[in-house]
Every structure is written in structure tokens, then in C-alpha cells.
Amino acid sequence: MRTLNIAATGLSAQQTNVDVISHNLANMTTTGYKQQRAEFDDLIYQDLRRTGTLTTNQNNILPVGVQIGLGVNTAAISRNTEQGTVQATENPLDIAVQGRGYFQVLLPDGSLSYTRDGTFKLSPEGILVTREGYQVEPAITVPQDALSVSISPIGAVEVMIQGQPQAQEVGRLELATFINPNGLQAIGNNLFIESTASGPPILGVPGEQGVGTMLQGYLENSNVNPVEEITQLIVAQRAYEMNTKVLTAADEMLQSLNQSV
């Protein structure tokens, strides 16, 4: 009867696998999206005959025992934090990060969140905000009479104002890095929040000490590779099928057993 449960763990694991793959494919063109991957572990083992036990009274020991595994479980869904491809948009407020680092975004409840999505806009007050209208930290205000905005690779935001020959710096964007970016908690809307696993954010100047640089007029695409995802989908589908086959086989074996008694 263990078999039925083992097959059930296999089915639910592959279901999770397909869930993750479909989430990746659905976010194939989401700016700043990072591919996810379901990772599995084998479950505990039952020792039916333990290694090293005596087999005869002549001091012969069993070199290997009988261990029956009890299936599989989903250990983690980890994120692939590799750089996505960078696409030109010509929009001066679109910023891509090349290398490590996240933009900081102030949530309405006053806490900070982090994102790789640099699709920024201006609020009616001229403050740099995300698409959802959340303010980008540190706050950058672009004056109403600014003719153009330029953002340097190191995050300095400069504006040209009519009648003034020199560009004026209105602020500097900073990037937050994490020792374990995989441990960040996704909250939707391309935003992440800090967790115990990610460690605290370390603020840095773009281009210094391993922090990435900024690229104005570009956006970072998702790093989902459709070919890879489709291949994984086929693998997951076949694995699912195999587990259902185990279920049917076990069922039929039990059936033939029941018929004979």
C-alpha cells in the first residue's frame, strides 16, 4: 500500500513543477522577472534490513541492506538571479540595472520593498515613482520646468532647466544588494521584501564594491528562457504520467491479489 502514497508524492511534486513552469512562462515578458525553479528532495527511508547486520553465524555481515524510500517532496522553489537581457526603450525614465542590486521602493505602509523593474514614471508632484505609484527611494523630485532628465551609470539624476546652461543634480539613486538575493520574499507587482534568509539590505553606490550600474533608456527583460521552460514542461509532464502509471499498476496488482482470495 506504500506504493500508492509514494506515487501520490510524485504526482504532487510534478504538479508543483508544472505550476512553477507555467508561472515562468506567464512572466516571460515581465520586466525584471527572475526565473524560478522547483527543487525536490527524496523523503525519508525505511530500513527493512539494515546495512551491516549479521547474515549468518559466521560473522558475515550484510554489505548493503534494504532501504525503501517513501517518495519525494518539494524542498524549495529557488530563483535564478542571473541578469536578464536588456532592451532599449528610449524612455528616459526607464532604468535597467546591469549587475547586482535592487531599486528601493517605498510601500504605502512606510516599509521598503526592492525591485529590478526600473519602469519609472513621474507623479503629479514630479516625484519619481513606480508604475503602481509607489515612491522610489531616495526621493527624487524633477522640477516642473525641466527640459530633460539624464541618469548616469552611477545613479546621479541630472536635469536641464531652460535658460541654464549647466545640468543640475537633483538626487542620486542608490541600489540595495543582498548577500542572498534568492532569499528575498516576492510580494507581487515585481516587488520583493527583505527576509531573514536574504539578510539585511546593503546600500551601495552603483558601480562600486560589486554593485551594478544603471542604464538609462533600457529595461531588463525577464531571464526566462522559453526553450528551457518548454523542455522542462515536457519532462514534468512525462514524469507526471509515469507516476500515474505507477498508481494504475499498483492498483491492478492489488486487484489481481484481491481476486484470487
Partner 1 sequence: MDNSVYVTLSRQMALFRDLEVTANNIANVNTIGYQGERLIFDDYLVDGGKVEPKLAFADDPMSYRDTRGGRVEKTGNTFDLAISGPGYFSIETPLGTRYTKAGNFQLNNDGELVTIDGYRVLGDGGGSIQIPRDARNLIINGAGQIADGNNTLGQVGIVEFANEQTLERVGDTMFKTDEAPLGPTTSKIMQGFLEQSNVSGVQEMVRLLHLQRSTGSTAKFIEVMYDLQRKTSETYTKPTA
> In whole angstroms, how close is the CB of 102 to partner 1 at the nearest point?
14
Binding residues for partner 1 restricted to 195-224, rule: CB under 8 A: 196-199, 202, 209-210
> In whole angstroms, how close is the CB of 228 to partner 1 at the nearest point?
9
> In whole angstroms, how close is the CB of 168 to partner 1 at the nearest point?
32
Torsions phi, psi of 193, nearest 5? -120, 155
Q: Counting contacts by CB under 8 A, is residue 239 touching partner 1?
A: yes
Q: Which long-range contacts (CB under 8 A, 24 or more apart) does 251-256 make?
A: 251/4, 254/1
Q: Counting contacts by CB under 8 A, is residue 61 touching partner 1?
A: no
Q: List C-alpha distances in Å: 129 to 120, 165, 173, 207.
A: 6, 27, 12, 23
**Helix %, strand %, coil % of the chain (to 5):** 25, 35, 40
Q: Counting contacts by CB under 8 A, is residue 162 touching partner 1?
A: no
Residues 6+ apart with CB under 8 A from 256: none
Measured CA to CA, the distance from residue 71 to residue 46 in angstroms comes to 11
Q: What's 125's DSSP letter? A: T
Q: Which of 51, 111, 148, 164 binds partner 1 (CB under 8 A)?
A: 51
Q: Which of the stretches 5-13, 85-93, 104-112, 120-128 binds partner 1 when contact is defined by CB under 8 A?
A: 5-13
Q: Counting contacts by CB under 8 A, is residue 233 touching partner 1?
A: no
> Is the preceding peptide bond at 226 cis, omega within 30 degrees of 0?
no
Binding site for partner 1 (CB under 8 A): 2-3, 6-7, 9-10, 13-14, 17, 37, 39-45, 48-49, 51, 55, 62-72, 75-76, 78, 80-82, 99, 177, 179-180, 182-183, 196-199, 202, 209-210, 235-236, 238-239, 242-243, 245-246, 249-250, 252-253, 256-257, 259-260
